[in-house]
Amino acid sequence: MTEKTQVGIIGTGNIAPAYVKWSRTFSNIDVVACADVDEARAQAFAKEYALRALSVAGLLADPQIEIVINLTIPKVHAEVSMAILAAGKHVYSEKPLAATRGDGKRILAAADAAGLRVGCAPDTVLGGGIQTCRKLIDDGAIGDVVAATGFMGYHGPDGWHPNPYIFFQRGAGPMLDMGPYYLTTLVTLIGGITKVSSIGHISFPVRTAGHESIRGEEVPVEVPTHMTGALQFANGAVGTLTTTFDVWEHKQPIIEIYGSDGTLRVPDPNTFGGEVELWQPATKSWRTVPLMFSDNVGRGMGVADMAAAIRDGRPHRASGALAYHVLDAMLAFEDSSESERHVLLNSTVERPAALGMDERF
């Protein structure tokens, strides 16, 4: 049996438990240590999940750790990822890759120069739901893809999150917070994006925190909380995408892909499973398609795939190049809204390889 790749985590906040829990279900990686700028929090987290608690410097200096998962707040993703690479370790970052294109490019350039890998969430596209959609598209179930739509909307994390401030600062907002799930899914299913045109708006300049620990505190808003626009894909297909923290409820489709020979309803891209529905002219009705891949996976699948790819010498799927292209597209939404013009993307990316039917980690 191949020795497991040892993994460390920097940042022990809200998403960290899911990474530890699910990473332990994969046969090729082993999360062994954690660190946080709040060392007391790291100690408590380590005790709860049977990890070694280290300082950030200590974790980066540990020669046994090959991959470090960066779960820090969005505005310091780039700084922490650069430190991980400087320590000679592969980095897998929570989304977004960075807050600016310049920082994203710096991360990729540093990794390339050092011969290291950059991975980035979301890895939900490797789950059974979206991989089943990918196989249906690749097998021609809806013909040629001609259009797509996506909608992410709720009233924002200010009502429930213990630290909602980060979601309304530069480097976040609904587009940079939730957009990665939708855009990574669209690129995985359709291909790269070439052009964006959008409008954004701050509907409520100040939010009120609802979490019991900070209930009633004011949360200032720095970024658009409603962003809607159109995008064009390299294959000629067109799409629409809305991400908003400004609606209470909706009945919009989460993601639909429209083809020359049918329509595909894609499950929530913030999950690994979900229901896949297919409409075809022959039946003129919707039918649920059983998942062709396991949905019993979770956060960390991208790390496991990256560890396997390092060992096998192949590209990994939740790659830095894909994350940078998604970042480029998300910032193009902001740029287009501010400039009131179409924005052409400078980055390109190929669709990541589909999962093999018998591929396991």
Two tokens at 98?
A: 């960075």
Q: How far apart are CA 45 and CA 47, in angstroms?
A: 5
Tens-binned pLDDT, residue by residue, of the chain (361 aa): 468 999 999 999 889 999 999 999 999 999 999 999 999 999 999 999 999 999 999 999 999 999 999 999 888 999 999 999 999 999 999 999 998 999 999 999 999 999 999 999 999 999 999 999 999 999 999 999 999 999 999 999 999 998 889 889 887 899 988 999 999 999 999 999 999 999 999 999 999 999 999 999 999 999 999 999 999 999 999 999 999 999 999 999 999 999 999 999 999 999 999 999 999 999 999 999 999 998 889 999 999 999 999 999 999 999 999 999 999 999 999 999 999 999 999 999 999 999 988 878 8
Strands (E), the chain: 5-10, 29-35, 52-53, 67-70, 90-93, 118-120, 145-153, 193-201, 206-208, 218-220, 226-233, 238-244, 255-259, 262-266, 276-280, 285-289, 343-344
**CATH level 2 (architecture), domain 126-292+327-344:** 2-Layer Sandwich (3.30)
**Domain 5-120 classification at class level:** alpha beta
Q: Which residue has the tokens 């979601």?
A: 167
Q: DSSP code of 319? A: B
Where in the sequence of the chain do the CATH 3.30.360.10 domains occur?
126-292+327-344
Helix axes 128-138, 173-189, angle to 10 degrees: 40
- Contact by Cβ (8 Å): 62, 88: no
Please state, as a whole number, how many other Cβ atoms lie within 10 Å of the Cβ of residue 52: 15
Q: How far apart are CA 73 and CA 361, in angstroms?
A: 28
Give the chain's end-to-end CA distance (angstroms, integer).
Answer: 13
DSSP letters spanning 160-176: T-S-GGGGGSTT-HHHH
Where in the sequence of the chain do the CATH 3.40.50.720 domains occur?
5-120
Helix axes 77-86, 101-114, angle to 10 degrees: 10
pTM: 0.93
